[in-house]
């Protein structure tokens, strides 16, 4: 299967009706995917960089090197599940940091079909527990948070988990302002007196950008 056929098959697998819908869904400009999948002589051969961007967006593995082990899976009543490691540390101001060198606390089994539909790669993800209400109502105290370890480049408004040297592991919406060399960390809680935006520059900015664990791609709410 060539690259174009693989991309078209993946788009269909993810439930997109056509190329235009796929480009809109994954934030590509019109023609970005069509140019490398069209069925005529004008089909473009993507650069390695572009192929990696497309694969990352569609949840496909882009890898050059020796064979790697397959992600842990299990089967129950004929349905396959992927297992995702859960670590002990919690994400909130004032708690300990996530230590990925330590063994995980346990694993959570997640249906592989659901992961495929949502474009989540289980082999790239970890789970931690959120503490506090700074990100409520999106993420509440005790919620499970799934982090994609390969998504570390800041996109304004998205949620990221990072290890803060002073405040432990935190989850915030991050915004990078290149011209001002500033990272803004925002909380979802509407009480801005308790949780005002935090502006980080210089060494504080680098401390965040260099210690991002990944982007939040899913959270599970604990009902009480």
Residue 67 within any structural domain of the chain = no
Let me know whether 161 and 212 are in one domain.
yes
Using alpha carbons, select from 12, 91, 125, 93 the residue that is nearest to residue 58: 12
Let me know whether 86 and 138 are in one domain.
yes
C-alpha to C-alpha distance for 77 and 101, rounded to whole angstroms: 34
Let me know whether 90 and 179 are in one domain.
yes
Host domain of residue 41 = 3-58
Residue 68 within any structural domain of the chain = no
Let me know whether 83 and 128 are in one domain.
yes
Residue 179 within any structural domain of the chain = yes
Distances (CA, A) of 75 to 13, 83, 169: 21, 11, 33
pLDDT of amino acid 19: 92
Q: What are 134's two structure tokens?
A: 């700074």
Give the total number of structural domains in the chain. Answer: 2
Let me know whether 99 and 179 are in one domain.
yes
Strands 73-76 and 168-177: unpaired
How many residues appear in the chain?
224
Let me know whether 94 and 52 are in one domain.
no
pLDDT by residue (tens digit) across 186-199?
A: 999 999 999 999 99
pLDDT by residue (tens digit) across 37-95?
A: 998 888 999 999 899 889 888 877 777 776 555 556 667 666 788 889 998 866 664 45
Q: What percent of the chain has pLDDT over 90?
A: 45
Let me know whether 119 and 79 are in one domain.
yes
């Amino acid at each position: 299967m060539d690259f174009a056929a693989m991309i078209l098959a993946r788009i269909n697998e993810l439930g997109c009706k056509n190329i235009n819908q796929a480009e809109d869904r994954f934030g590509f400009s019109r023609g970005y995917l069509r140019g490398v999948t069209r069925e005529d002589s004008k089909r473009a051969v993507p650069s390695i960089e572009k192929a990696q961007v497309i694969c990352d967006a569609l949840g496909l593995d882009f890898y050059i090197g020796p064979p790697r082990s397959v992600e842990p899976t299990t089967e129950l009543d004929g349905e396959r599940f992927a297992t995702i490691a859960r670590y002990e540390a919690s994400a909130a101001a004032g708690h300990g940091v996530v230590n990925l060198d330590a063994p995980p606390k346990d694993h959570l089994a997640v249906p592989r079909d659901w992961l495929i539909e949502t474009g989540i790669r289980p082999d790239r993800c970890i789970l931690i527990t959120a503490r506090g209400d700074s990100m409520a109502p999106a993420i509440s105290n005790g919620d499970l948070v799934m982090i994609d370890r390969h998504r570390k480049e800041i996109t304004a408004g998205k949620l990221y988990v990072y290890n803060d040297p002073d405040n432990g592991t935190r989850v915030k919406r991050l915004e990078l302002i290149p011209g001002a060399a500033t990272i803004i960390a925002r909380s979802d809680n509407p009480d801005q007196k308790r949780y005002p935006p935090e502006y980080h520059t210089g060494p504080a900015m680098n401390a965040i950008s260099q210690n991002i664990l990944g982007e939040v791609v899913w959270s599970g709410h604990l009902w009480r």
